[in-house]
Amino acid sequence: MKKKLVSAMIMAAFAAGAFEAAAQSGKISDDVVRIGVLTDLSSIYSDLSGPGSVLAGKMALEDFAKDAKVLGKKVEILSADTQNKPDIAANRAREWYDKDHVDAIADLPATNVALAVMEVAEQKNRITLVSTAASLPITNAKCTATNVHWMYDTHALSVGTAKAVVKSGKKNWFFITADYAFGHALERDASAVVTENGGTVVGSVRHPFPGSDFSSFLLKAQASKADVIALSNAGNDTINSVKQAAEFGIMGSKQTIVPLLMFISDIHSMGLKTAQGMLLTEGFYWNQNERSRAWSQRFFLRHKKMPTMVQAGVYSAVLNYLKAIKAAGTDEPGAVMKQLKSMTIDDAVIQKGKIREDGRLVHDMLLLEVKKPQDSKSPWDYYNIKAVIPGDQAFQPLSKSTCKLVKK
């Protein structure tokens, strides 16, 4: 009798386990979670995103689960090159979603690329995790229910850098702007901050994207006699603009060069001697605290460079996406997005961030000053942290949002 009872209990337990396993497998589409890192592997943004972003995504998976699984199912990290072309990026996203059953796409350098992929993702009901593109429309007029804007945007950059420079007494501004959506948005947002704080925009000029020869644009800015020559560009465009400004003798003159978006990779490329004293705003600095240092040093061992803000953002986005799947018990996009928006984002990159209804991850930003060469104590020790800007001050308030998801 006892043997029969024990046998029955074993069979019941086995059946329950089998049922649970079957139920669990039904919660992951295609029995695999696939995350695509769609980045710039060959062009102007490859140093600040590119291979480093792919590595960051892989590290996130490794830190999430040693067996590379979520809910008992395999997780794969894919990567591809956007070539900074919206049509190529959109076609790749469509192929990933339709043929390769990719569940989420991360990184997405360049605003035009991000918006194109976000549109495809919305049509396919898939998730995008934008950490590199910066324009405000990503969480405003062009927002989607399946997107999170992870690290920074043009509003946060302007609130940090432009406000600090105007408050220092440099009130007349001239903009050199990359002629595409990101550059336009950054100039617009920075101009608003300048005028709101008592400054004046005396002129602007737009350069092709990407650019190489900035001499004519710099000469126009120099002739304006503005206190500030603001660079509304990024990546190699910013590096080349600064280097050519130094060649023309603008660096160190009465005029101040202010890059509105600059990464630690840019500082490394141009050197502290050229960049010293510049103010910039970032959402992450490897040497900020013990958690950021520990993760960044692991990243450095494999990449031979410290992580940029956006590479760190890919890590945080992928890690928390996987956490959301685990907590939701499914990779169904609606359930995962609901879980993400209910979570506190707290990791080596983002401390105590929250995702709003418009998809904006709100977290503290850093106002940084580039160190003088003699003040740098070790390799990649490039910044003094001048201020920590609380997230609710750095990012556009929901009261000004034009996102269709925001309840008025």
CATH of the domain at 347: 3.40.50.2300
Q: pLDDT digit string (tens) for 268-291?
A: 999 999 999 999 999 999 999 999
Q: How far apart are CA 218 and CA 21, in angstroms?
A: 64
> Confidence band (pLDDT; 50, 70, 90) for 234?
confident
Q: pLDDT digit string (tens) for 324-376?
A: 999 999 999 999 999 999 999 999 999 999 999 999 999 999 999 999 999 99
pLDDT exceeding 90 applies to what percent of the chain? 85
Domain that holds residue 111: 31-152+288-359
Quote the strand ranges of 160-285, DSSP E: 172-178, 200-207, 228-232, 256-259, 279-282
- Mean pLDDT estimate for the chain: 92
What pTM value is reported for the model? 0.90
* DSSP element (H, E) containing 70: strand 69-70
Q: Examine the domain organization and report whether 249 and 370 are in the same domain.
A: yes
Q: Examine the domain organization and report whether 105 and 38 are in the same domain.
A: yes
Q: Examine the domain organization and report whether 143 and 292 are in the same domain.
A: yes
Tokens representing 144 are: 């989607």
Q: Residue 58: CA atoms inside 13 Å, Cβ hemisphere, count?
A: 12
Q: Is residue 195 part of a domain?
A: yes
Q: Examine the domain organization and report whether 159 and 261 are in the same domain.
A: yes
Q: Examine the domain organization and report whether 252 and 350 are in the same domain.
A: no
Torsion of the alpha carbons at 324, 319, 103 and 299, rounded to the nearest 10: 180
